[in-house]
Amino acid sequence: MQIEPTQVVARFEICRSGFIAADGKVGAELPAFARERATLVALYRSMVLTRAFDAKAVALQRTGRLGTYASSLGQEAVAVGLAHPMTPEDVLLPSFREHGSQLMRGVSMKELFLYWGGDERGNDFAGPRRDFPVCIPIGSHAPHAAGVALALKLRGEGGAAVAVFGDGATSKGDVYEAMNLAGAWQLPLVFVVNDNQWAISVPRAAQTAAETLAQKAIAAGFEGLQVDGNDVVAVAHAVGEALRKARSGGGPTLVEALTYRLADHTTVDDASRYRDDAEVAGHWKEEPVARLRAHLVAEHGWTKDEEEALIEACAAEVEAGSEAYLAQPPEPPEAIFDHLHAELPTALAGQRSRMLEEAAR
């Protein structure tokens, strides 16, 4: 064999897309769905509702009526955008900041409050029966998504799995292992990186030397792309295209949605310990809800009355969900035994009885 001079054997590029700028103006030709007022209003409603839910959850936590809660403030466009193109046949495997996605999938607000309020029944979704509950350990649900996608492929059902995780999760082996398999087996799977720049106190730049998180897909052999994660149209468009590709046998895609965590990591975190107020203030100018509102006002004649009616309707919905949650009596204590296995093992029957005796005292 002849020795060749050094050759380039692989090249890659990562593209970023966005349609609606921070001031609401259109910067690139909108996809068809984003030209329809009704669709945009529906997306806007979901984002406003998510933000209202979020505010209520924090308020409930502050008054001792909810557990530790992970706010999605400022990231509504990622959650809502990714859920918009999903169908009931698809399966969502969320991280813990996709409340907006879960609401759009049909998880009830009461169920969300129940889960964050410390009641497992919040994960027994009345609606999307196959969607996964949130994954608290970082990125360890990515392999589940590969399993779900394999199941969908084996059954030829046509749906796709959508796994969502944060920027920090891309540092983990689980995420790469799942991506690697999804590429090798061409699974119908969409990975969405909710890139909010901070993994608790560790900034994105300290997480990896890679210029983008999207390029992590390149090593696994499939397309990775970036979108403006504060532009709900950009997220919905990219995930929609990725889903189309996945469903038609084109394999996985990774969508990195660039956004910003405007809130603390959770209600027990104090982000002022590790990041500047000035940085946060700067990102408020990019945030997704005001952006779409500005666009609706400028391009679709969104009125003050419509805005007020929407705010009121969302507040009422959140209030109803919260009241339903607060009115829910706790499960009986034996529930901790009764759902561990399909049938109560004989060996646990004694422990269950002892617990009930203690509870009766």
Q: Which residues are catalytic?
A: 261, 265, 274
CA distance 165 to 157: 25
Nearer to another protein among residue 81 and residue 159 (C-beta)? 159
> 302-315 burial, b if ≥16 CB within 10 A, otherwise e?
beeeeeeebeeebe
In whole angstroms, how close is the CB of 209 to another protein at the nearest point? 23
Choices 16-24, 119-127, 190-198, 265-273 (CB under 8 A): range interacting with another protein: 119-127
Nearer to another protein among residue 17 and residue 108 (C-beta)? 108
Q: Is 342 in the site for another protein (CB under 8 A)?
A: yes
| 181, 188 contact by CB (below 8 A) | no
- What is the phi/psi pair of residue 258, to 5°? -80, 115
Residue from 22, 26, 30, 150 touching another protein (CB under 8 A): that is 150
CA distance 186 to 230: 29
Residue from 10, 327, 347, 360 touching another protein (CB under 8 A): that is 347
Residue from 152, 236, 243, 314 touching another protein (CB under 8 A): that is 152
Touching another protein, residues 4-23 (CB under 8 A): none
Q: Is 89 in the site for another protein (CB under 8 A)?
A: no
Q: Tell me how many helices (H) and strands (E) the chain has.
A: 14, 8
| 254, 45 contact by CB (below 8 A) | no
Rounded to 5 degrees, what angle do the CA atoms 72, 283, 296 make?
A: 75
Choices 240-248, 270-278, 321-329, 346-354 (CB under 8 A): range interacting with another protein: 346-354
Q: Is 354 in the site for another protein (CB under 8 A)?
A: no
Nearer to another protein among residue 37 and residue 129 (C-beta)? 129
Q: Is 148 in the site for another protein (CB under 8 A)?
A: yes
Smallest Cα–Cα separation from 234: which of 20, 3, 37, 14? Answer: 20
Choices 52-60, 148-156, 263-271, 294-302 (CB under 8 A): range interacting with another protein: 148-156
Residue recorded with tokens 């799995």: 161
Residue from 129, 244, 285, 354 touching another protein (CB under 8 A): that is 129
Q: Is 63 in the site for another protein (CB under 8 A)?
A: no
Residue recorded with tokens 């030397």: 209
Touching another protein, residues 154-183 (CB under 8 A): 154-155, 161, 173-174, 177-178, 180-181
Rounded-to-5 percentages of helix, strand, coil across the chain: 50, 10, 40
Q: What is the CB neighbour count within 10 angstroms for residue 104?
A: 23
Report strand pairing: 202-203 vs 198-199. antiparallel
Q: Is 357 in the site for another protein (CB under 8 A)?
A: no
Nearer to another protein among residue 181 and residue 292 (C-beta)? 181
Q: Is 25 in the site for another protein (CB under 8 A)?
A: no
Q: Is 70 in the site for another protein (CB under 8 A)?
A: no
Residue from 59, 313, 324, 348 touching another protein (CB under 8 A): that is 348
Edge to edge, what strands does the sheet with 223-228 contain?
Answer: 16-17, 223-228, 253-258, 189-195, 161-166, 91-93
Amino acid in position 314: C
Half-sphere exposure of 285 (CA within 13 A, CB side): 5
Choices 24-32, 99-107, 149-157, 243-251 (CB under 8 A): range interacting with another protein: 149-157
Touching another protein, residues 222-261 (CB under 8 A): none
Number of residues that bind another protein (CB under 8 A): 46
Q: Which residues bind another protein (CB under 8 A)?
A: 91, 93, 120-121, 123-125, 129-130, 132-133, 137, 140-152, 154-155, 161, 173-174, 177-178, 180-181, 184, 335-336, 339-343, 345-348
